Amino acid sequence: MSLKNSVDCLEVLEDRIRKRECVVGIFGLGYVGLPLAMCFTYAGVKVVGFDIDPKKISILSGGKSYISTVSDLQVAEALNLGFSATSDYKAASELDSILICVPTPLNQYRQPDLSFVEKTLDALRPYIRKGQVLGLESTTWPGTTEEVVVPAVESTGLSVGSDIAVVYSPEREDPGNQEYSTANIPKIIGGATSRCLRVGKALYEIGVQEMVEVSSLKVAEMSKLLENIHRAVNIGLVNEMKIVSDKMGININEVIDAASTKPFGFVPYRPGPGLGGHCLPIDPFYLAWKAREYGVNTRFIELAGEINHYMPMWVIEKVSSVLNNYGKAIKGSSILVLGIAYKKNINDTRESPAIELIDQLSKMGALISYSDPYVPKFPKKRRYSYSLTSVDLCSRTLRSFDCIVIATDHDVFDYDLIEKSSNFVIDTRNRINRGPRCIHA
């Protein structure tokens, strides 16, 4: 086939995209993939969602949602508009675009684990063809798309930039944020070639209001890491400031409120029991790992990661101190953890510091319960397994525990009730005034 005809297949694809006749495939229907699938569906294109978890497919096919940021009504409406969900990769044969939104966790050595991306590409290999656009959204190190995705595509005999378009467009989801969603968050995109960039941008413009073009795949990949490392480092700073302030008898939240009155040069970050979510606890180590290939030690970034990783133990030290003052040890004490999602008002428990608190306190012999209306049953995790269900809060229940730990400050919690009815409260989120039965940690 001549180069002209090869280029023509992308021209045909771009025309189908602009006419909204394309079929979009979303691989990985989690907190990134499912909102993205809804976004494209509501914009008027056919979307097929893929996930290896048959439970997710069953739930979605029944018109229900399993994440708090997408409602049952949204899923039901999407089904009526033509959205479908499947675990059968044979359905990928009809796709014009392939968008990969699978997890990129760390392994036990805090090294990048791209197995989900690689397995998805392997499964897709028979269905990758001319006239498609393939995009990666998963957060990863700069160079991943060039080093992993492009070779996988070219192993099929296709030429990137002429037969098929390859782009990287990092997700920017903020679960629980009522102001910003997939559709109105500006979306960064980089292409393997300028032609790839043009086709990929046309695709995303179907459902996203503003696209931000960058000059390369690596710039797009690095921008995502910078966004999250910026937050992780600043949270690490404020967490360390919290420890220092606590030793000095100073309320760090009052300090932050005071500093926030400066109209320039200061951005407030709030301390907590540690970092959670798929991005902030993980992304700094992706860059640190890749930087070592270039002989660079990212000491500043890794130090912030160590501080944030330590914070659950800081909370446990506070729990131990409180119980000790009442002649109790952690072993044998009944402790109720409020909130196990990684942030308030959502059901996402990925990398939640509350779960690390539960695990460590349990290993120390505490009798642990939890309450979280967003997570009625303790989720299955690779490193944790507990047969727990959420406890309903009432005065009698709260009084039955030696100590209450506020780990996630859901707005639905009755903090007046918690303050009045608890024997003692360890508040990691500054939701209860300090008093004789409450300390901040």
Which residues are part of the catalytic machinery? 279
Helix (H, G, I), strand (E, B) or coil at 360: helix
Nearest-angstrom CA–CA distance, 92 and 79: 18
What's 125's DSSP letter? G
> 91 CB contacts (<8 Å, ≥6 apart)?
25, 48, 50, 84
Sheet with 438-440, strands from edge to edge, namely 367-371, 334-338, 403-406, 425-427, 438-440
Can you tell me whether residue 259 is helix, strand or coil?
A: helix
User: What's the half-sphere exposure (Cβ side, CA atoms, 13 Å) at 191?
Assistant: 21
Residues 407, 164: Cα–Cα separation, whole Å: 47
What is the rounded distance in angstroms from the CA atom of residue 100 to the CA atom of residue 25?
8
Cα distances from 344 to residues 208, 272, 374, 375, 412, in angstroms, run 26, 12, 9, 11, 9
For the chain, how long is the longest CA-to-CA vector? 83
| Beta-bridge mates of residue 377 | 389
In angstroms, what CA-CA distances link 400 with 282, 333, 335?
Answer: 37, 11, 9
| DSSP run (H or E) holding 370 | strand 367-371
Q: Where are the alpha helices (DSSP H) in 125-216?
A: 144, 150-154, 194-204
CA 384 to chain centre: 18
Q: Which of 324, 332, 399 is nearest to 361 (CA)?
A: 332
Separation of alpha carbons 310 and 239, rounded Å: 10
Environment class of 400 (CB within 10 Å of its CB; exposed 0-12, middle 13-18, buried 19+): middle
Which residues of 1-45 form beta strands (DSSP E)? Answer: 23-27
Amino acid in the structure at residue 27: F
Task: Say whether 293 sits in a helix, a strand or coil.
Answer: coil
**Do β-strands 211-213 and 84-86 pair in parallel, antiparallel, or remain unpaired?**
unpaired
Q: How far apart are CA 95 and CA 16, in angstroms?
A: 12
